[in-house]
Structure 1
Amino acid sequence: MSAVEQSTIFHREWLLSERPASRWQARLGRAYLMWRRLLANKLATVGLLIIVALLFVSAFADQLATFSPVIGDLKNARLLPPSSQHWFGTDDLGRDIYSRIIYGSRWTLYVVVLVAVIAAPIGLLVGTVAGYAGGWTDAILMRITDIFLAFPQLILALAFVAALGPGIENSVLAIAITSWPPYARIARAETLTVRNSDYIKAVQLMGASPFRIVLRHIMPICTSSLIIRVTLDMAGIILTAAGLGFIGLGAQPPLPEWGAMIASGRRFILDQWWVAAAPGLAILIVSLGFNLLGDGLRDAFDPRSADQ
């Protein structure tokens, strides 16, 4: 047996130890088990590969794109079909659709990451505070949450964007404002199940403040469920951003945003179908990737799942 194989076996046994010597070892062991469960799910692996490909394309868009995403040859390259020179064809302004999709992946990541960074912490904070405090605090925070949940997300986002003005930043803010209520509901439900548990009572007896209990002991418990819900919501966030771009309230020309690209190609859908089909296919693939990964994460984080 080679030294590399011996080292691999040693580290695997160290990670899977039933008696970890430290918190760090226990956390790494749980993360390793979750990673094995995720890789054992073939569909989740496909979703992970799609997201990794999206990250790769976004990071190396300058090298992967073959033409400028905003400058086209209106005179000689207008509405050309897919070919060896223009892989996905060209649009009505002579711009290479492949290059625009490559650069558009950056705006897709920009939207989903910012929405997740803004909406998830808000929902986590509101839900844990409401669940732990209870009483009138819970009633007020949950009634505010119910008001947001009473409206369809896209309609509410349209209202906020109409008030803030069109633009990619305003659309991100509008989507984030309308996305946090489900996270608050999940965090509150998780908090209600653990706030009266023995270890929370023990922390209270040790003199920990409510702020410390919520921040250090309850929020980490809610994190796994929140990560799963955020991943599953990424497809909806992409579709909402694309919908805002489609009606002209999201990214503004000449930004290569996928929803705006579909809007510009709807006039040619019958004859030059590739103008709208290519960005639509990109939205479909990325949304499918997030959904598959979210399903896999849900199974991987489930403590009742058998170790595979």
Structure 2
Amino acid sequence: MRRANVARLFARGRRPSWTLVVAIAVIVVAVLWAAVPWLFTAYDPIDGVPAQKLLPPSAEHWFGTDAIGRDLYARVVYGAIHSLSGALIAVTVGLAAGTLLGVVAGSVGGWLDDVLMRVVDVLLSIPGLLLSLSVIILLGFGTVNAAIAVGIGSVASFARLSRSEVVRVRRTDYVEAAFGSGGSFAAVLRRHVLPNSLTAVVGLAALQFGGAILAISTLGFLGYGAPPPTPEWGLLIAEGCNYVARRRRDRTGRGRSPRTGLRGGAEA
């Protein structure tokens, strides 16, 4: 009976999860775009053909072309390296600085813990986008500076989580036994506290990676990221918005005026 239950559980574990398969496929494609973009498109993301500007999606140009004839699919593919590398820098900055603050506060305790956590509380009270904008204004524009700004905005989250995990692990029986058997503070921290408290922090880093891509793209959309003609995802959205708005104005002009209800041109 027990063997049958084990076999049934093993069979359930072997069933493919299509959502997981799709998620892994998207990640693999994005990583390949960033690593070997020339395998996915033969077009140049910077130089275009003016005679082929603003073409609709087709078999030749999957996403169409922009105002100066550049292939939009190629720009999306080559833009992966900027967005993904920026997100990696942002997560690394937030993980390193936040974990260091949290581990020091949780392991030392006392007045140092109070001071560091009050600083973290101040950072948490500031919206992440506003904090990133403030930092990038001080550092200057660019993909790397935008990534560092986003990473500084996430330091507080990593510090709060790492500090709580360190405090939780320090109160466990095996850590108390390690101290009672004569273990030094540094040895117990290295052998027992850190390995058992950083698992949740690493999980948070994985979750923050997607948020970092969105934050860096937001800064690029607002004009604080990579300068043109860099094929960065946020900048591509900003460039496309201009033509979406113009298309809407053209459609409105051919119909009735939104203000007076008259035909186009009658209002003037």
TM-score (norm 2): 0.82
Mapped pair 1:70 → 2:46:
yes
C-alpha distance in 2 between matches for 1:39 and 1:106:
34
Match of 1:98 among 57, 66, 73: 73
Q: Tell me which residue corresponds to 1:235.
A: 210
Deviates more, 1:94-103 or 1:122-131: 122-131
Query: For the Cα contact (< 8 Å) 1:79–1:89, is it kept in 2?
Result: yes
Q: Tell me which residue corresponds to 1:79.
A: 54
Aligned pairs (5 A) from 1:201-240: 201-240=176-215
Moved over 3 A (4+): 36-42, 205-209, 270-273
C-alpha distance in 1 between matches for 2:13 and 2:29:
21
Query: For the Cα contact (< 8 Å) 2:64–2:73, is it kept in 1?
Result: yes
Q: Tell me which residue corresponds to 2:154.
A: 179
Match of 2:111 among 126, 136, 160: 136
- Deviation at residue 40 of structure 1 after TM alignment: 6.0
- Deviation at residue 270 of structure 1 after TM alignment: 4.8
SS in structure 1 at match of 2:154: helix
C-alpha distance in 1 between matches for 2:93 and 2:108:
23
Deviates more, 1:192-201 or 1:178-187: 192-201
Mapped pair 1:121 → 2:96:
yes
Mapped pair 1:167 → 2:138:
no
SS in structure 2 at match of 1:82: coil
C-alpha distance in 2 between matches for 1:253 and 1:132:
46
Query: For the Cα contact (< 8 Å) 2:91–2:212, is it kept in 1?
Result: no
C-alpha distance in 2 between matches for 1:214 and 1:183:
18
C-alpha distance in 1 between matches for 2:16 and 2:196:
24
Aligned pairs (5 A) from 1:1-308: 41-74=17-50, 76-270=51-245
Residues 127-183 of structure 1: CA distance to partner in whole angstroms, max 9, x if unpaired?
122112211111011111111111010110001111111111111111111111111
- Deviation at residue 271 of structure 1 after TM alignment: 6.3
User: Structure 2 vs 1, CA of residues 44 and 228 (structure 1 numbering), >3 Å: closer, same or farther?
Assistant: farther
Deviates more, 1:96-105 or 1:120-129: 120-129
C-alpha distance in 2 between matches for 1:106 and 1:192:
38
C-alpha distance in 1 between matches for 2:14 and 2:81:
26
- Work out which of the two has the higher radius of gyration on C-alpha atoms and give 1 or 2: 2
Task: Give the paired residue count.
Answer: 238
Letter paired with 2:31: L
- Deviation at residue 259 of structure 1 after TM alignment: 0.2
Letter paired with 2:26: I
Letter paired with 1:150: S
User: Structure 2 vs 1, CA of residues 158 and 37 (structure 1 numbering), >3 Å: closer, same or farther?
Assistant: farther
- Deviation at residue 95 of structure 1 after TM alignment: 0.8
C-alpha distance in 2 between matches for 1:64 and 1:94:
19
Deviates more, 1:141-150 or 1:187-196: 187-196
C-alpha distance in 2 between matches for 1:267 and 1:97:
15
Deviates more, 1:187-196 or 1:89-98: 187-196
Deviates more, 1:258-267 or 1:187-196: 187-196
Gaps of 5+ in 2: 1-9, 249-268
User: Structure 2 vs 1, CA of residues 39 and 193 (structure 1 numbering), >3 Å: closer, same or farther?
Assistant: farther
Q: Equivalent pairs: percent with the same residue?
A: 36
C-alpha distance in 2 between matches for 1:140 and 1:185:
13
User: Structure 2 vs 1, CA of residues 94 and 137 (structure 1 numbering), >3 Å: closer, same or farther?
Assistant: same
Query: For the Cα contact (< 8 Å) 2:107–2:166, is it kept in 1?
Result: yes
SS in structure 2 at match of 1:215: helix
Gaps of 5+ in 1: 1-32, 274-308
Residues 241-282 of structure 1: CA distance to partner in whole angstroms, max 9, x if unpaired?
011101111111111000001111111115669xxxxxxxxx
- Deviation at residue 37 of structure 1 after TM alignment: 7.1
Query: For the Cα contact (< 8 Å) 1:128–1:214, is it kept in 2?
Result: no
C-alpha distance in 2 between matches for 1:124 and 1:198:
23
Q: Which structure's relative contact order is higher, taking Cα pairs within 8 Å and 6+ residues apart? A: 1
TM-score (norm 1): 0.72
Q: Tell me which residue corresponds to 2:253.
A: none
